[in-house]
């Protein structure tokens, strides 16, 4: 059976990197936002046309959604302050590009970004497959549709769609771009954050790079994002690197040695800003 790139559809694909994970054995625990199984990933292929790296044996999209629907991740909420700082930087720039209107957050999780966007003046909506996360978001008084983004009802259009650290989780990223275009108004903005597989950190760390993990089934680069923008009817407005803000406790407990020796609540008070330059932040305008 011919393998095609799940982004651009090209049949020109080649083997890129051997992995050590099989989605046939995947469980919901493997897809938590705070999962720390770094270096655990499937065999990866590379598209010779757009540069996307993607799982050789891609999980069935319905299988992925079923797994995500069962995800329970209370640790995500515990790092709310740091995640809020991550999102605040996005909101600050987005306000300059598209000051208000209807905003749809794809992969809304527990609604931390949605809540901040609402405070900044947007009319916010979300879509999220995890039943647990949807419940938490609704406790915040947020409107979150539970299910697969590709099945989200197409009715009223949005001024902004945000896909923050979500497109790398999707088995069919090309369809996700098409869906976003269908839901956006002309001139609307699609915001994407995603790991950069061609970053210095990715090249230096190799198979130990922290973004190589079971939940990430495809990987973009700057070239790939720009190619996707061209293919699906968008114009790049701004492209920059994402800056992470987390507590020292969260960072050290990503690793087994940290959980064993340094799981100290006091470390939650130590805040760090991490300009790792290994995740892209793109603002794309929907063309006519």
Is the whole-model pTM more than 0.75? yes
Distance of CA 225 to the CA centre of its chain: 13
Residue ranges in the chain assigned as alpha helix (H):
61-69, 74-78, 80-97, 112-119, 131-139, 173-183, 200-205, 222-231, 248-252, 256-261
> In 3D, which of 34, 23, 125, 38 has the Cα closest to residue 73?
34
Average of per-residue pLDDT across 253-264: 62
Q: What is the pLDDT of residues 60-71, one digit of tens each?
A: 888 889 999 999
Structural domains in the chain? 13-286 (3.40.50.150)
Report how far residue 154's alpha carbon sits from residue 181's, in angstroms, rounded to the nearest whole number.
Answer: 11
29 CB-near residues (< 8 Å, 6+ apart): 35
Predicted confidence at residue 114, as pLDDT, reads 97
Residues 150, 172 contacting (CB under 8 angstroms): yes
Q: Compute the C-alpha angle 214/216/222, nearest 5°.
A: 150
Mean pLDDT across the stretch 255-269?
Answer: 63
Per-residue model confidence (pLDDT) at position 171: 95
192-193-196-197 Cα dihedral, nearest 10 degrees: -80
Q: How confident is the model at residue 246 (pLDDT cuts 50, 70, 90)?
A: low
Q: How many Cα atoms occupy the beta-carbon half-sphere of 217 within 13 Å?
A: 24
Three-state DSSP at 235 gives strand
Mean pLDDT score of the chain: 90
């Amino acid at each position: 059976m011919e393998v095609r790139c799940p982004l651009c559809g090209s049949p020109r694909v080649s083997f890129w990197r051997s992995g050590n994970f099989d989605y046939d054995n995947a469980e919901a625990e493997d897809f938590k936002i705070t999962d720390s199984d770094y270096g655990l990933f499937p065999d990866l292929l590379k598209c010779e046309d757009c540069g996307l790296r993607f799982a050789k044996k891609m999980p069935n999209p319905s299988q992925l959604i079923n797994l995500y629907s069962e995800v329970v991740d209370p640790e995500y909420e515990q790092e709310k302050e740091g995640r809020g700082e991550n999102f605040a930087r996005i909101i600050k720039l987005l306000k300059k590009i598209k000051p208000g209107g209807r905003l749809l957050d794809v992969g809304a999780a527990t609604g931390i970004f949605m809540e901040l966007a609402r405070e900044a003046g947007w009319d916010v909506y979300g879509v999220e497959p995890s039943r647990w996360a949807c419940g938490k978001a609704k406790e915040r008084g947020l409107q979150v549709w539970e299910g697969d983004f590709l099945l989200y009802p197409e009715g009223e259009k949005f001024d902004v769609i945000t896909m923050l650290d979500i497109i790398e989780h999707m088995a069919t990223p090309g369809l996700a771009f098409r869906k976003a275009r269908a839901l956006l108004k002309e001139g609307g903005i699609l915001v994407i954050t995603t790991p950069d597989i061609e970053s210095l950190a990715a090249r230096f760390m190799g198979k130990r790079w922290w973004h190589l993990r079971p939940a990430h089934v495809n990987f973009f680069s700057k070239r790939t994002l720009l190619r996707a923008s061209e293919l699906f009817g968008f114009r790049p407005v701004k492209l920059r690197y994402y800056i992470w803000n987390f507590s020292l406790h969260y960072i050290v407990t990503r690793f087994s040695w940290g959980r064993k020796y340094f799981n100290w609540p006091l470390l939650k008070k130590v805040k760090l800003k991490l300009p790792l330059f290994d995740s892209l932040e793109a603002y794309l305008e929907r063309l006519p």
